[in-house]
Amino acid sequence: MAKLPKITNTYFVALIATVGGMLFGFDISSIAAIVITPQYIEYFHNPSGLIQGAIGSALAAGSVVGSLMAGPISDKIGRRDSIMLACFWWLIGTAVQVSTNGVGSLIAGRVLNGVCVGITSSQVPVYLAEIAKRESRGRIIIIQQLAIEWGIFIMYFASYGCGFIAGPASFRTAWGLQFIPAVLLMIGLPFLPRSPRWLAKVGREEEAIQTLADIQAGGNKDDALVIAEWREIYTVLVAERESVRGWRKFISNGMWKRTLAGMSVQAWQQLSGANVIVYYLTYVFLIAGLQGNINLIASGIQYALFIVFTSIMFFFIDRTGRRTLLILGGIGMGISHFVIGGVLGGFSESVPGGVGGNANVTFKVSGAASHTVIAFSYLLIIIYALTLAPVAWIYAAEVWSLGTRATGMSLAAVANWLFNFALGLFTPPAFQNIQYKIFIIFGVLCFGSAIQTFLTYPETCGKTIEEVEELFAKGAPAAWKTRKGGSRLEAEVRAVLERKQAGEAVHAEVPVHQADNEKGVSLDDSKEAKETLNYTSGEGATGNWDTNSGALQLKMLAMTGPLRTLWAPDDAPLCDELEKLLMATVAERLTTDLGNTMTNLEESSMCKRTFEVYHHRLEPTPMASHKRIAASGVARKKS
């Protein structure tokens, strides 16, 4: 059967993939616009704050489960197919909601929908980050946030329209509309390419190179950008195949810094309190004296503002640093929360029985105080749309290494959804019990997010996702000293072009033979690694090829006699430095810091001379670069 044609324009790819974000938005506003309608209140017997909190947070509870599942599933079947799998959960959950006969089945349906949202919210950003070009990665991922907002907007006003339908058919019709985006997504997904980085990770290197070429250069595998980016991907991939396995990899070798950054930025997105406004702005506007259709329309305006200001950031997200936006967002939202909390605390009055008969809202303000609350609620949403809303998803997708990205983003999404669940569950009772103080708490948390961003989040804007790894490596500059841009990729592209102009044949090659890789042969068992070993061992050296473990042991390579004979018998300082280098290589595994290590080696005059000798002696079949030599000759400790 002929293969389906693939869409390779990354913006069109993002438009289809981010329908997964639209599912999230649909489910949010399917509740927000319904909870104050008389049909809903009557059918579900005017649910208390705790019960309404359980209904609202059920999506987040399911999303925690979905996020935990997402990483292993995505690594196994791929980013694209994991999104397809999520759609089936959505269809089942929507069917349960439409046929609900009480609170229990409504909660169950939202939990099932949440499993889908947990998978898509974590893996769509991963997929987009892995296919996007460095200079447009922020714009590509921000489409996910825009899709969420369009989903909220469309579903909110669709639900508002359904509110004019009599009886339970009003909310059943609204919830039934959720089938539409899931079906559209399932139709579009087969036309999307797989992630080239995932293909490389699972050993499908030739397919990865072709996909990278399709996305970056119209299918030209000899394009300089494709060659340079593939080498960078492969260098990191080699290192990660040698790295720690299992969950321990998220805290070993400095990975804890990335784990902290990825999870905390997602947690702050919730702890900023903006989603409390998004979910329960109808409650806030009840407090401000708006009721009935006026409340619903005024609440809907925030969703339009959300879309407008996030759309503005689409054009500036890759020109402005991630750190700058996160810090300014935390400060601006904190001030907005303090103003809302201060006005409510100073001018509110108690309403026994609840405003408009809603038992969850027991106080209100009027006059100028009411206008201030409305204005700063809108302002808070605008600041959120410009900063934390899009940037938290972008940053969390950027900080992970290739081997940890799918599961790491799942952990980040778990942090997001755990706090989403907690806030969704406890916000309605909080409006009853601590009232205005909830905004003061969120204001403090927003300033806390700005402080942590300044101290611990390095700038990732303008760098390849392989280069981002170096920002978290040992010896990297402090977070507040990092700046956007400064990618090495341009220099590598220029180097490839110079070599081509000099008449050298340069290709995006697969150093490990694909046939070997498909059989499960490790990098150390590759033909090139053996050739490297045979050459560097030389006469009298004792390079030990351990075929049982697949490990390349260079334990005796640093012996003085063979080295001085082989490399530079008349250059004792060179040999001394070379011995130290090789012994350090044997003693310390080159794991996720290989790229950084090789950068340091490049700056060493000793290493430049050593590799010149290496290339000279290897002629007439020199390897493509010293990074490739390092990749095929990675040394490991004995296990």
pLDDT of residue 506: 53
Q: What is the pLDDT of residues 3-30, one digit of tens each?
A: 777 787 888 888 898 888 888 888 777 7
Residue range 37-58: mean pLDDT, rounded: 82
Dist CA 307 CA 289 (whole Å): 26
**For residue 280, what are its two tokens?**
């329960």
**Which string of b and e fits 178-217 if b means at least 16 CB within 10 Å?**
beebbeebbebbeebbbbbbbbbbbbbbbbbbbbbbbbbb
Torsion angle, CA of 17/23/28/32, rounded to 10 degrees?
120
pLDDT of residue 528: 37
Q: What are phi and psi of 110, to 5 degrees?
A: -70, -35
CB under 8 A, 24+ apart: contacts of 166-173: 166/39, 167/39, 168/39, 168/43, 170/34, 170/37, 170/39, 170/40, 171/34, 171/37, 171/39, 171/40, 171/43, 172/98, 172/99, 172/100
pLDDT band at 535 (very low <50, low <70, confident <90, very high): very low
Residue range 283-296: mean pLDDT, rounded: 77
CB atoms within 10 A of CB 492: 20
pLDDT of residue 31: 78
Flag whether pLDDT at 489 surpasses 60: no
**Burial class of residue 177 (count of CB atoms within 10 Å of its CB; 0-12, 13-18, 19+):** middle
**For residue 308, what are its two tokens?**
């407008």
| pLDDT > 70: percent of the chain | 70
CATH architecture of 10-193+218-242+254-456: Up-down Bundle (1.20)
Residue limits of CATH 1.20.1250.20 in the chain: 10-193+218-242+254-456
**For residue 366, what are its two tokens?**
């009027």
Q: What is the pTM of this model?
A: 0.69
Residue range 196-200: mean pLDDT, rounded: 85
Q: What are phi and psi of 321, to 5 degrees?
A: -65, 150
Q: What is the pLDDT of residues 501-516, one digit of tens each?
A: 666 655 555 554 343 4
Alpha-helix runs per DSSP H in 478-555: 489-501, 514-518, 527-537
Dist CA 636 CA 534 (whole Å): 17
Dist CA 380 CA 375 (whole Å): 9
377 with 278: CB under 8 angstroms? no
Dist CA 485 CA 464 (whole Å): 9
Residue of higher predicted confidence among 571 and 57 = 57
pLDDT of residue 473: 73
pLDDT band at 575 (very low <50, low <70, confident <90, very high): low
Q: What is the pLDDT of residues 325-358, one digit of tens each?
A: 999 999 999 999 999 999 988 887 877 777 776 6
Please give the DSSP secondary-structure letter assigned to residue 349. Answer: E
pLDDT of residue 257: 84
Flag whether pLDDT at 173 surpasses 70: yes
Dist CA 507 CA 152 (whole Å): 46
605-618 and 594-602 helices, crossing angle to 10°: 90
Residue range 281-298: mean pLDDT, rounded: 77
Q: What is the pLDDT of residues 579-632, one digit of tens each?
A: 555 545 444 433 333 334 443 443 433 344 334 433 333 333 333 333 333 333
Q: What is the pLDDT of residues 418-456, one digit of tens each?
A: 888 888 777 777 877 778 888 999 999 999 999 999 999
Q: What is the pLDDT of residues 388-413, one digit of tens each?
A: 988 998 888 888 776 677 788 888 88
Dist CA 189 CA 354 (whole Å): 47
